[in-house]
Structure 1
């Protein structure tokens, strides 16, 4: 028996093999399908996807032969990997001096015929082979050989896809961990910053109400208070932005529109100059409730903050179709100028006008709304007339309801 020579680039080849992290992994249906198809096409009892480790030949998939590995120096595939671009065939191992006294020829599984196509990477390294084996002389037609080569390329693609999937999962897990750390950091910083800002605002109010202060000093204190309030609002917006992705992890559920109507009206019922009506024939919708509430609260808050009418009138419409839910929030606010409508959903691009409290926002509320809607499989648009009002229209994708 002749032992196959080691490839000249063996150390680099092994390094490439180990980079795929595939050795000693569990059976996978996609690979098993390939070996089963290879046996059927070539009419052989055995077909394997093999990988040549430093001292063993390990089977990622083995059709028709039990076991998971054999010593490398006894394997036929070790000969095949020495020529990465070529099919290696042994018509009759009993008559081939390289294999005649091989224990796999003289004993079980009594190998007579072997054909193997190297599994070759883009860098030219043969990791192993897709092989077919029989215990009797076998002739393969040109079409069978062509199919075997095609299946070998498919097996190599599966190995590469498997590695890329694992890499993507690692990146995703790493990003999730970083996002968790970032969310914790944002929450901590927001809390630590808001406390002293509240103190500054409280002290400025105390100084201006409890003491007689020169007008110029009072003006400076008002500037300090206004700046502190703006910074506090910005921190709150940033915190809301960081939390928006969390909302999407909530599962969809059956939402009672009567309960939603009551909750929304109660939330904005601090005075009688706000009228909020619902226009829908639906009783329930199946949706991410927390995300929907966040969207509606942002849109209603804007309708109130930027309203110049004696009574803020807001109408919320909800309808459904086979594939999606359709919503609108219509108000009688100041309206949005045509030149600003394309920018209102951009992060940090606020309207030019100040709200009813004299503040100019940071353009985060509508950006959060758009992000939530996009991730719920929908879109948002608006129609607005200055001095008349604004109508926001958005959709969300419908999800299948669980069977009862």
Structure 2
């Protein structure tokens, strides 16, 4: 069976636009969690976030698309353009039916939706944009990317919160291994508007601390919740044989995946994160000794942190594998967070360094990579974990054993 490999990366993150800018900032430990600037958060219990502050939409998106797209879709379109450019693939050399788009979204286009509902309330139905009919929808990123790049093959969207970003990438792999030549995949969210923050506060997992240095503390005894962020990543996933035939740079292989769902609360049965990891390792043909680093879900919610830490100790042993959660610098980006971790995992394997987890003092028997500097390491496989609110678990193994270069 052919392998599905990543040949292009497109990133929009609070600490960098483009994969290399994001990578450099993360290695520096650049923490960008600050008070929200796009609106006044004074009346909200949670006031901090990881915002994308340097994205000038007029420089990245055709003017005709700006009024019909939410901020998350603008991010997704830009990231897709950058991923294709990074891969150096000539999409005109494929039939449109050979190329697909699979993305994830946790919230849809909330900012545009809020604006148009305000217009409805204030001015009446004649003042509501027709673009509202699709711009708020979870699948709109997939649709807009596929239209822009004339990709008419398999398309879809996954809505499983943070886990969705991994599920989308895994499905892209499945499609490529099944014969689709190329798939654009990943996740993107932008929920930093009053409507979006209200919904997140209602979920009960946001930290209400106002000190950026003590607000998002996964695996720490002082953990009180997470901080929201915005952005994500789009990846080009290709058939390895085709990629090598055009002498493409290959970041790594999507080697294995597992997804599970937790039992209902109160059932007395344990969560199923461990099973997701075991399935992913089996799918990749690897065991725990082959994993050189784990990019953690890092919920920042004490019961969820405890479950993740205990599973890692059970599988790898106490302090048995380096664990990192660079999302402490930028917040949890929901469907965009896990694809960003996949980007970091691929670049970590490429450069032999693990980006750090800032700010935390771990209280579990796991080897968290701490401080503001990366840790050198050797290895060819990384495990990325993501969970979604309501019980979703997803684990993805990436490997550079078949790494090539352009």
TM-score normalized by the length of structure 1:
0.22
TM-score normalized by the length of structure 2:
0.22
Q: Which has the larger radius of gyration?
A: 1
